[in-house]
Amino acid sequence: MLVNYVLLLNLLWLAYGLPAATVSEQTDMADQAQTDKETKLSLEAYYKNLEESYMYGHCIMKPNTDHSVPNQIRGSVDFRQPLHGGPTEIKVNLEGFEITDELTKHGFNIHEYGDLSQGCSSAGPHFNPFGVVHGSPRDSPEYRHFGDLGNVKENGNGQVIASTKDYLVSLLGPFSILGRSVVVHAGEDDLGRGDNDESLKTGNAGPRLACCTVGLSDGSRWK
Ligand SMILES: [Cu+2]
Ligand SMILES: [Zn+2]
């Protein structure tokens, strides 16, 4: 009985199987062309969307919890980078700098860690994935840390309102600054030109006045 059943199935396959397979193959090819067309259209839309879309980072600056630091810096640092890559735009908006001292330029860097549990000191050193020397954001990547952003300058009201663009600071990829921190220093960063060892490590920018951890955000804070 089983043998007969198998034979019947074989006969049915011979009678209908082949032509049926051919028809279904033609249908699949037509479907494939349609799918390819739709995929191409959706990829075009996808890349167009990438060109017009950004990733945003936001960081709320707070005074260093080491209270020996007199300045009470507060404000925000915002980042924006196209989703397909390219330079990151950075906007800095800070207040609370001491206006009676002579210090108007302040070292401003991305530091390796976003851990601020021990104040700004647990942020670690400047973000420097390739172990190179400290420098200026205008130096080539062999002579600057990824995190080196030079100095910000305060105005007469003790505020910093600044914007810049950087090719190494990135929200995307393996060297993303997400989860790392921004630190503003008490003194001026010598950009590696100080002619001493510390200059090539920290730029001699002095104590850390304030810091914040960079997190992802929607674009609503980018104005
Ligand atoms: Cu720093
Ligand atoms: Zn550095």
Q: What is the CATH number of domain 54-221?
A: 2.60.40.200
Please write the tens of the pLDDT for every residue from 95-112. Answer: 999 999 989 999 999 999
Put residue 75 in one of left, alpha, beta given phi > 0 → left and psi -120 to 50 → alpha: left
Query: How far is ligand 1, taken at its centre, from the CA of residue 117, in Å?
Result: 16
166: left (phi over 0), alpha (psi -120 to 50) or beta: beta
Distance (Å) from CA 201 to ligand 1 centroid: 10
What is the reported pTM?
Answer: 0.80
How much is the average pLDDT of 168-189? 97
**CA dist., res. 217 & res. 223, Å (int):** 13
Structure confidence at residue 25 (pLDDT): 58
Domain spans in the chain, listed from the N-terminal domain onward = 1-52, 54-221
Residues with CB under 5 A from ligand 2 (ion): 126, 134, 145, 148
Average pLDDT over residues 175-194: 97
For ligand 1, the distance from its centroid to the CA atom of residue 148, given in whole angstroms, is 8
Ligand 2 center–CA 3 separation, angstroms: 81
As a whole number of angstroms, the distance between CA 145 and CA 128 comes to: 5
SS3 of 108-171: the string is EEEECCCCCEEEEHHHCCECCCCCCCCCCCCCCHHHCCCCEEEEEECCCCCEEEEEEEECCCEC
